[in-house]
Amino acid sequence: MTELLTSAQMRAVEMAAIEAGSVTGLALMEKAGQGVVGAVFKRYPHLAEGDHVCQVLCGPGNNGGDGYVIARLLAARGWAVHVFALAPAKTPDAKHNAERWAQGSAPLTVAGLTAAPAPDLTVDAVFGTGLTRGPGEDLVTALRCAYDRSALIVAVDAPSGFCLDSGRWLGGADGCVAADMTVTFESPKVGHYLAQGPEACGQLETVDLGLSAWRAARSASAAASENVRLLDPDRDAARLRAHFTKGQGHKYSHGHVLVLAGGMGRTGAARLAARAALRVGAGAVTLAAPGSAMMECANQVTAVMLRRCDSGADLEALVGAGKISTLVIGPGLGLEDRHAGLVRAALATGLRCVLDADALTLIARHPELRAALHADCILTPHMGEFARLWPDLAQRLTDGGEALTGPAFSKIDATRAAAASAGCTVLLKGPDTVIAEPNGHANVHAALYDHTAPWLATAGAGDVLAGFIAGGMAQSTRDAAWCAAAAAWLHVEAARAFGPGLIAEDLPEIVPNVLRKLFGVSSS
């Protein structure tokens, strides 16, 4: 997995390297500036030829210092470079580079920007990891003007006003500025992958500053609950292969998933989850449906087994009789008291249990169900369900007041708090899916940047995800959070493999293609 850093963690890595004498701040700043210029030329090769017009917006801190380095490097190539400074450079390294920039600067104002020639490139180096609060109104207006006037915007570390700890824009209610490319240093930051991050940052490039040993030392010495990891399909390929490998053995040695279905006319969601669990490798899957829905289910399932289950007592008997290893409850279940009774019975089995959809709403409504959650449960809410379960946490995620004074409250903070209060793993869905465990371990699976899967916004896709998680969990005593992460990966890859026109039924059916590709097996 790729490590995502908070702003404070990045500062700690930089300080540790500097204090140990292995590098100077000035050397890092020069490398950062060179890295930005290199990344721009790599992505926009037409800019590497000839001379162009550039505006560089500089803040008072080291983000601004990077801007002065970039201005110098572009001017040395013959570019016409205009620097606009929010305030004089304050830090020693930024001051040094501001002094080396001999051509002077104009104040960062709308009047100043519009008086200068329209640029081919604007570099936003006002604030990066040092943003402590929302930018003032005048600055937001000037930033918007600069962003609107330029053919191309490259942000250094982040579009200014954007919180790298949460992915939230701190610059007030009216949207946020959006760069074409953002160049960050050493490691992506948490905010690049959350909330408005991808929309604000455009394309994301990470420049290596040579601090990997310091980065590794920091993460090794930090409490695991402080570290956030991003599932990286390339780096994690071996682990994913191990997860989806089916070893020798009979069907029950690959686990038996039991999916509870709702009543007549509502069984589609559970059937989707059941088929997904089977496709992902569970040895056997049983659909447990009420009497009223038996015919409906019988007409629609083949490899999935079918059993009648009208009550908590029936569920208890089914679990007692079979070799059930994992339960899925919630998709299409219903919200009546008898459904709450089924959730109660499911939790009382103590089995590994994926709770989704209606089960989440029932837990929100019935405190005794919440109290019965145990460490082998996974809750898989979307944001609406999350808000039903944890209205206070959801409120903090949307609270404009808190975001303006930020390091803003993030989706990771919210999911960690939810997992701690539930005492089990929580997967909070979205293009920025966050998976957190009660001990604070957190990872992100992002269908973002060059890895989007917009087709996943389709009815029933969440039910399939529940089945993918359960199918993985059923096969062993695998770590629940990893099962959730691997399922989130498969879910996105399946959607991407199918592409436009995807409906939820297609997701389990395309799984063999995705897994063949993962295992490097030709499909012919």
Ligand X SMILES: NC(=O)C1=CN([C@@H]2O[C@H](COP(=O)(O)OP(=O)(O)OC[C@H]3O[C@@H](n4cnc5c(N)ncnc54)[C@H](OP(=O)(O)O)[C@@H]3O)[C@@H](O)[C@H]2O)[C@@H](O)CC1
Residues forming contacts to ligand X in the complex (CB under 6 A) are 10-11, 14, 28-29, 32, 59-66, 90-91, 127-135, 156-157, 185-186, 209
> Is 178 near K ion (CB under 5 A)?
no
Residues in the chain: 524
Nearer to ligand X, 61 or 281 (CB): 61
Secondary structure of residue 471 in the 3-state scheme? helix
Positions 230 through 269 that interact with K ion (CB under 5 A)? none
Residue written as tokens 């950062």? Answer: 32
**Among K ion, ligand X, none, partner that 98 touches (CB below 5 to 8 angstroms by kind):** none
> Minimum distance from CB of 189 to K ion (Å)?
12
Q: What is the distance between the alpha carbons of residues 145 and 142, in angstroms, rounded to a whole number?
A: 5
Cβ atoms 464, 273 nearer than 8 A: yes
Positions 115 through 174 that interact with K ion (CB under 5 A)? 124, 128, 155-156, 160
> Minimum distance from CB of 30 to ligand X (Å)?
9
What is the pairing mode between strands 53-58 and 228-230?
unpaired
Nearer to ligand X, 24 or 245 (CB): 24
Rounded-to-10 torsion of CA 450, 185, 152, 446:
20
Annotation-wise, does 160 bind a ligand? Answer: yes
Alpha helix ranges (H) inside 167-260:
197-201, 212-221, 237-244
Q: What is the distance between the alpha carbons of residues 412 and 407, in angstroms, rounded to a whole number?
A: 13
**Among K ion, ligand X, none, partner that 132 touches (CB below 5 to 8 angstroms by kind):** ligand X
Beta strands in 115-197 (DSSP E): 121-125, 153-156, 162-163, 168-169, 181-185
Annotation-wise, does 524 bind a ligand? Answer: no
**How crowded is residue 501: how many other Cβ atoms within 10 Å of its Cβ?**
8
Handedness of CA 512, 305, 273, 372 (dihedral sign): negative
> Minimum distance from CB of 127 to K ion (Å)?
6
Nearer to K ion, 133 or 323 (CB): 133
Annotation-wise, does 366 bind a ligand? Answer: no
**Among ligand X, K ion, none, partner that 64 touches (CB below 5 to 8 angstroms by kind):** ligand X
Annotation-wise, does 269 bind a ligand? Answer: yes
> Minimum distance from CB of 379 to ligand X (Å)?
35
Positions 436 through 475 that interact with K ion (CB under 5 A)? none
Nearer to ligand X, 182 or 415 (CB): 182
**Among ligand X, K ion, none, partner that 134 touches (CB below 5 to 8 angstroms by kind):** ligand X
Nearer to K ion, 131 or 389 (CB): 131
For the chain, give the longest Cα–Cα distance.
Answer: 82
> Minimum distance from CB of 181 to ligand X (Å)?
14
Nearest to 201 by CA among 128, 134, 140, 118: 128
Nearer to K ion, 29 or 156 (CB): 156
Cα separation values, 209 from 96, 214, 218, 260, Å: 20, 11, 16, 52
Counting beta carbons within 10 angstroms of the beta carbon of residue 188, is it exposed (0 to 12), middle (13 to 18) or buried (19 or more)? buried
Give 12's contacts (C-beta < 8 A, 6+ positions apart). Answer: 218
**Among K ion, ligand X, none, partner that 423 touches (CB below 5 to 8 angstroms by kind):** none
The binding site for AMP comprises: 429-433, 462
The binding site for (6S)-NADPHX comprises: 62-66, 157, 269, 332, 382, 463
Interface with K ion (CB under 5 A): 124, 128, 155-156, 160
The binding site for K(+) comprises: 63, 124, 160
The binding site comprises: 62-66, 124, 157, 160, 269, 332, 382, 429-433, 462-463
